[in-house]
Structures are given as C-alpha cells and as structure tokens.
C-alpha cells in the first residue's frame, strides 16, 4: 500500500513539474501538424518566372510583418515526380500567426497549364493535411491565375479554396500569346510551302519569294518574342491565346466554377498620358539608325495592328484616366474575371476588382495585395 502511495506521489510530482516547467521538447510532442490562425496562403507565380518573384517584389517580407509566416516552397524534383517541400521548423509559427507557402511551377510556368494545376492540387492537399484545415487562400500573378482556375474547374463542388485573388491575369488571353500562335501557324505554312513542288503556286519564282518573305516574318516574330521575354515554343504561351473556336481558354471560360469562393481581381494598367518622352526621343534615334524593333513605338503599332483601330481596349470616357494597352502585357478587359463566359452567364459568380496604375509585374502590386488581406 505504501509503495502505491509513493508511486502515485512521484507521478503527481512529475506531472506538476511538467505543467510548470514545460520543456521545449515537450511542446513538439503531440503537435506533429502545424496550425494556422487563418487559411494558409499559396502564392502562384506567372509565366517564365520562379517562386522568387514574390520575394523580389518584397511581398513575403511584408506578409511576415503581418504574422503570415513563409513555411516553404513546393516544387518538382528529379527524385520525386510529385512534389517536394522544404518546411520551416514547426516552432517558427506561433499562436495567432498564419502560414504562407510558395509554389514553383514546372519549367518556370512555361509547360502545359493542366500539368501545373496538378502540382497545385497536390500542394493544396498536403497543406490542408499539415494544418488540419479545410481551405487555403490562393494569390496568383499573371498566368498563375489561369493555373488556379484550371484547378477550380476540376473541382467545382469539392475544392479546398476559400478565396482566389488574381493579379494581371490574362483571363481572356494575353496580348503576347498571339506571337506564339502566329509563329507556329507561319512555321507550318512555311514548312509546307518549302516542301511543295507540285506547282500549286503561280510560278516557282513566286513560291520562292513568298517562302523567303514568310521566313523573314517568322524570324521577326522570334525576335519580338525574345525581346518581350516570351518562350515562343512554350505550350503555356499558346494556351493563353484569346478564347475562340473551342481553344483552351474558350473551354476554360465556359466551365463550371465554385460559387462559394471569394473572387478578387487586381487589374493593372498603364496610363499613356505618362509616356516617357525622353524614351520616345531615343526611339526615334534607334529607328533613324535603321532598327525599328525593340522600341516602344513598335510595341504600340503592334498592338494597333493586333486589336484594330476600333478596339483600343475600352478607352475610358474620362480623359484623365485614358488607358490604352492595359499593363503592356494583358489588357484591362482581359484581366477582369467578370468578363469570362461562366461569370457573365451565372449570377452567382462575381469578382470584386481593384484597379492599379502599374505595368506588368511592377512591385507596386504588393500594396494592392496587402490591401485585399485586411
């Protein structure tokens, strides 16, 4: 009996000591998963970028000031064909703090958008398991927003997203995607023309001259694409072409979307009244030397040729807010999720919008993102 009382006394003393002292190693026992005060955030970068984009615009450091802690980066590896995650120490997130993750899309987001969406889905499942939560918040830049939409359309009923914020996203196509589409059409025509000896053209000389002209044009398109930082052979680039004739964005725009998500678009747009006149002067000097490419003048004329004179991207009736080229990569009309077919045809779907004077990828978008999280 005395031994039982002694044993009980010792056990009680140990429990009391544990409750008072709470050694650090015991804090990890029973907490193998990390809790987040708010739904974890996943940052999805855009075309031909890396997950470092968010650090480059100093968004992650600003989020950490708001107790939203960077917990790791999802990416593909050669050893792991699914996902690999570099996790922060569980003690890095405290009570009242929320978790943040970045996502590195395959081959800098230049691959098939559907493959990138599969990686996003796997990342979401790992995060909700780790944090014992049901939902995550998605914040996406440019083509990253299309990756998020691809995931959502595959899970319109059983998804794990509480909100989607898109920044400068080409919901109705990118201004630069037509370069890739046109390039590949011209390439195919040129290949057929060079292989055609049947005399289908007026004369052999005409065929040779036409092939020579098309060859020059495809070379020029390659140069324009390189100047704009576009991988003209990218599958993603072709998938971002304007919705038409059952192409990728046409089908995606007509798909079903979750109606229980908070959608928000940050729409970036340049003001042509703020044109750099010194740059214009420099452009004329370049043109005078015989080089018309890689100038702002060439870009503007290229946009006019693409859109047509009567489609200057919904020019505002207010002269003080005259806009022309969106943010230089995506028109403001294309950046508005409310303009896609599914949102126009379903009154239950709606996206709030923030308009920001900025070019594509400008660090100024950081402020608009932070404002949406208030």
pLDDT tens by residue, 108-121: 998 899 999 999 99
Overall average pLDDT of the 262-269 stretch: 96
Residue 150: inside a domain, yes or no?
Answer: yes
Residue 2 lies in a domain: no
**Looking at the predicted structure, is the pLDDT value of residue 268 above 80?**
yes
Residues 188-236: tens digit of each pLDDT: 676 776 666 554 444 455 555 566 676 777 776 677 666 666 677 778 8
Supply the pLDDT for residue 278.
Answer: 61
- What is the pLDDT, as a whole number, of residue 238? 84
- Residue 80 Cα distances to 86, 121, 130, 374, angstroms: 13, 16, 19, 37
119 and 249 fall within a common domain = yes
Q: Does any domain span residue 69?
A: yes
Lay out the sheet containing 41-44: strands in order across: 84-85, 68-75, 98-103, 41-44, 136-141, 161-167, 262-269, 351-357
Do 203 and 93 have their domain in common?
no
Asked, for residue 12, whether it belongs to a domain, the answer is no
Q: What angle do CA 285, 289, 290 make, to 5 degrees?
A: 120
Q: Please give the helix or strand (H or E) that residue 225 lies within, else none.
A: helix 204-227
Structure tokens at 365: 């978008």
108 and 56 assigned to the same domain: yes
In a domain, 26, yes or no: no
The model's pTM: 0.73
For the residues 355-374, what does the mean pLDDT come to?
92
The pair phi, psi for residue 163, each rounded to 5°, is -155, 150
- C-alpha span between 143 and 5 (Å, rounded): 69
Q: Does any domain span residue 33?
A: no
Q: Are 218 and 129 in a shared domain?
A: no
Domain that holds residue 275: 271-325
Q: Is residue 237 part of a domain?
A: no
Residue 254 has pLDDT above 50, yes or no: yes
**Number of domain units in the chain:** 3
- Are 216 and 257 contained in the same domain? no
Indicate if the alpha-carbon torsion angle 232, 237, 242, 245 is positive or negative. positive
In a domain, 164, yes or no: yes
Whether residue 155 is found in the same domain as residue 183: no
- 354 and 281 in a common domain: no
More confident residue, 86 or 35: 35
């Amino acid at each position: 009996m005395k031994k039982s009382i002694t044993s009980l006394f010792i056990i009680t003393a140990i429990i009391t000591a544990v409750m008072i002292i709470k050694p650090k190693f015991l804090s990890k026992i029973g907490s193998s998963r990390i809790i987040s005060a708010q739904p974890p955030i996943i940052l999805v970068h855009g075309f031909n970028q890396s997950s470092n984009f968010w650090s480059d615009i100093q968004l992650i450091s600003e989020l950490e000031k708001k107790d939203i802690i960077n917990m790791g980066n999802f990416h593909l590896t050669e050893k792991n064909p699914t996902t690999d995650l570099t996790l922060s120490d569980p003690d890095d997130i405290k009570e009242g703090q929320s978790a943040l993750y970045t996502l590195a899309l395959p081959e800098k987001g230049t691959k098939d958008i559907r493959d990138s969406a599969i990686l996003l889905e796997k990342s979401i499942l790992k995060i909700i398991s780790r944090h014992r939560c049901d939902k995550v918040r998605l914040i996406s830049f440019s083509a990253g927003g299309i990756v998020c939409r691809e995931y959502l359309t595959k899970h319109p009923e059983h998804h794990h997203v509480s909100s989607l914020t898109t920044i400068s996203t080409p919901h109705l196509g990118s201004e630069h995607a037509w370069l890739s589409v046109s390039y590949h059409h011209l390439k195919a025509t040129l290949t057929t023309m060079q292989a055609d000896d049947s005399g289908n053209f007026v004369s052999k000389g005409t065929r040779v001259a036409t092939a020579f002209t098309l060859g020059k044009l495809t070379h020029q398109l390659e140069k324009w694409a390189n100047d704009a930082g576009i991988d003209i052979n990218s599958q993603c680039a072709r998938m971002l072409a304007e919705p038409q004739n059952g192409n990728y964005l046409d089908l995606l725009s007509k798909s079903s979307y979750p109606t229980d998500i908070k959608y928000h678009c940050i729409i970036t747009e340049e003001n042509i009244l703020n044109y750099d006149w010194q740059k214009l002067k420099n452009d004329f000097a370049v043109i005078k030397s015989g080089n018309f490419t890689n100038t702002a003048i060439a870009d503007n004329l290229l946009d006019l040729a693409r859109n047509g004179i009567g489609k200057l991207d919904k020019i505002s009736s207010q002269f003080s807010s005259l806009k022309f080229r969106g943010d230089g990569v995506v028109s403001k009309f294309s950046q508005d999720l409310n303009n896609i077919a599914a949102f126009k045809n379903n009154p239950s779907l709606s996206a709030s919008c923030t308009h920001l004077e900025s070019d594509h990828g400008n660090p100024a978008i950081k402020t608009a993102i932070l404002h949406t999280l208030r």
